[in-house]
Amino acid sequence: MALWGCVMAALLFAAVCCAAPVGNAISAYVALKAGTPDGGGIVEGGSAADIPARMLTAYKKAVQQVERHVPKCQGMRWPILAGIAKVESNHAIGRTITAGGDIRPKIYGVLLNGSGQGGNTTVLPDTDNGRYDGTASGERAVGPFQFLPSTWTSVGQDASGDQTADPHNADDAALGAALYQCGQGRDLTQRDQLKEAVFQYNHSATYVANVLGWIDHYTAAAQDPNLTDVSGGVRTVIEAALAQRGVPYSWGGGNASGPSYGICCSPNGKSGTGIKGFDCSGLTTYAYAKAGVRLPRTAAAQAGMGRRIPARLGTGALKPGDLVFYAYAPGRDSTIHHVGIYTGRGQMINAARPGTVVRLDSVNAMSGYAGGVRLL
């Protein structure tokens, strides 16, 4: 994944910033409530930064369809499906997902022939003559949810409306996964039943913990911040930033007056010149200006303002309104490359990177937590 950072004026016109996503387990970045203007048909609020829009649509669509198939199932929600798909296929990232949900190239697991490749030690004979897994010489898991053909035969349903239940179709696969988790009518609001549902996917305690961790992150990301006990200038800052959700990320964009056209070009060659919006420090500059606080333009410079909250105290030391920083080398403020605004409950308002919008993220959204700053 591309790594993004604030670039000092001496290097790129003006310092601008964006997030550095990470790919490991539960620490990877999570977001919500993106409200993207071109979100691929996403329905009813809640989004996640590392989920392609079309895949998120499939997860939400599956949740809406579950009751028709398993009326007794309770508690099915998109974070459950997202948690499984994250671990199984990283949400099919890198594949093309058509408007109808077809994923190309298809996703195949290793051939389960006991060779040890990919960790498989059990021989599974072919059950589908290659219909789903493309080979008649054995079995391999298929699609974004990595179903075995034999399992897919029992849970596969047509959710996309093309009269075919295809594990390589995002809609069909998500509904199949939802039905598999529901079983005969589990209550997935109960932690023990949710664990049981995940365990059937892979009889590994490590696997279950990994998936549950992702489910918890996505669940937290699907909640709005609670501003009941937030008032004064802090509330002004947070509300100003929240009001910008859905505004596009623009490399070099944003100032005390609001969104603006950015500059060219990010380390990955992305230009903000044609995009009116915010980068990370542009958003914080704007939000704090609404409370009468003037901030310098770069994330690294903003870390020198106010009362510093050391990273060693952990994110639990943060309070709503604090600036949250991330660095390539935590402990060296000169390497700070990203900033967000903490809203409480482990969340921050974030202008993450080119191609995204202002959104709510988990503060564990990226590696390199470098502490915070309290200005109010």
Instruction: Parse the chain into domains and list their residue ranges.
Output: 34-107+142-221, 232-374
Determine how many CB atoms are found less than 10 A away from the CB of residue 325: 27
CATH fold group of domain 232-374: endopeptidase fold (from Nostoc punctiforme) (3.90.1720)
Question: Do the beta carbons of residue 355 and residue 241 sit within 8 Å?
Answer: no
**What's the mean per-residue pLDDT of the chain?**
85
Instruction: Check pLDDT > 90 for residue 279.
Output: yes
Mean pLDDT of 92-105: 96
For residue 11, the model assigns a pLDDT of 30
The pLDDT of residue 41 is above 50 = no
Range in 18-27, 70-79, 90-99, 248-257 the model is least confident about: 18-27
The mean per-residue pLDDT over the stretch 340-346 comes to 93
pLDDT given at position 243: 87
Q: Where are the beta strands (DSSP E) in the chain?
A: 31-32, 96-97, 103-104, 260-261, 276-277, 307-309, 323-327, 336-344, 347-350, 359-362, 369-374
Residue 26 is predicted with a pLDDT of 21
Prediction pTM value: 0.59
**Average of per-residue pLDDT across 271-290:** 96
Alpha carbons 127 and 149: distance in angstroms, whole number: 7
Using the predicted structure, report yes or no on whether residue 371 has a pLDDT greater than 50: yes
CA atoms 184, 190, 192, 196: torsion sign: positive
> Residue 338 pLDDT > 60, yes or no?
yes
Where does residue 255 rank: exposed (0-12), middle (13-18), buried (19+ CB within 10 A)? middle
Residue with tokens 């040890």: 116
- Whether omega for the bond prior to residue 225 falls within 30 degrees of 0, making it cis, is no
Residue 12 has pLDDT above 60, yes or no: no
Alpha carbon distance, N-terminus to C-terminus of the chain: 35
| Stretch among 91-95, 242-246, 320-324 having the lowest mean pLDDT | 242-246
Amino acid identity of residue 361, one-letter, is D
What is the token pair recorded at 336? Answer: 């700070």
- State the fold for domain 34-107+142-221: Lysozyme (1.10.530)
Q: What is the pLDDT of residues 208-263, one digit of tens each?
A: 999 998 888 788 667 678 788 899 999 999 999 988 887 899 999 999 999 999 99
- Angle at which helix 53-69 crosses helix 170-182, to 10 degrees, equals 50
Q: Compute the distance between CA of residue 339 and CA of residue 82 in angstroms, rounded to an integer.
A: 26
Average pLDDT over residues 4-27: 33
Angle at 344 between CA 26 and CA 305, to 5 degrees: 100
